[in-house]
Amino acid sequence: MISTGHAASLDALLFAARAHKDQRRKGNGEPYINHLIEVAALLARVGGVEDADVLSAAVLHDVIEDTPVTAAEVERAFGARVRALVEAVTDDERLPKAERKRLQIEHMRHAETDARLIKLADHCSNVATLPADWSAARRREYLDWSAEVVRACAGTNAALEQEHATRLERARRDIT
C-alpha cells in the first residue's frame, strides 16, 4: 500500500508532467519532466528528504515560472505549504535576467530550509546538463553563479552541497 504522502508526491509529479508536457531540457533535449524527477530523486537519495510536501514542491518547482499554472492552482491541488515552497524558488520573470539571478542569491540567504533544499537539488541537476550550444564563457559564468547560489544555501544539507561541488568540478573540467 502506498502512503498518503507518497501518493501526493506522485500526484504532483503527474501534475508537473502535464504542465510541462511540451517542454524539453536546453542542455540535452530530454523531456523537461526528467529534470523535475531528478531534483526530487536528489532530495530523497542524496539529501535524505522524506517530507512529501518538499518532494511535491521539488517536482513543481518550475511550474509557476515556466507554464501557465498559477500559484493559486498549486495551492488548490497541493496545499498552502507546497505553494509557499514553490513560490520561494520561483523567479519573477518580469524582471531582467541579471536582477533575477541576483535576487535568487539574496533570497536563498534568508529562505527557509526546505526551499533551500529544493534550490540545492535544482542546481545539482542544472550544472550537470549545461546546454551544449552555450559558449565556454557563458558556461563558466553560469557555473560561477550557481556556486554563489549554493554558497547562499551553505549549511542546509552537507550531502547535497557536496553533490553540487562534485558536479560543479566535473562541469568546469568539461568546458573546453
Q: Mean pLDDT of all residues in the chain?
A: 94
Q: Provide the residue ranges of all domains of the chain, joining segments of one domain with +.
A: 4-174
Burial of residue 83 (number of CB atoms within 10 Å: 0-12, 13-18, 19+): buried
* pTM given for the model: 0.94
C-alpha 14: how far from chain center: 17
Set 11, 66, 73, 75: catalytic member: 66
Set 11, 51, 65, 148: catalytic member: 65
Q: Identify whether the C-beta of residue 41 lies closer than 8 Å to the C-beta of residue 88.
A: no
Q: What is the pLDDT of residues 122-152, one digit of tens each?
A: 999 999 999 988 999 999 999 999 999 999 9
Is residue 66 part of the annotated active site? The answer reads yes
Say how many residues make up the chain. Answer: 176
C-alpha 145: how far from chain center: 15
Rounded average pLDDT over 64-86: 97
The yes-or-no verdict on residue 2 having pLDDT over 90 is no
Q: What is the pLDDT of residues 102-127, one digit of tens each?
A: 999 999 999 999 999 999 999 999 99
What homologous superfamily does CATH list for 4-174? Hypothetical protein af1432 (1.10.3210.10)
Is residue 65 part of the annotated active site? The answer reads yes
DSSP assignments along 53-71, one per residue: HHHHHHHTTTHHHHSS--H
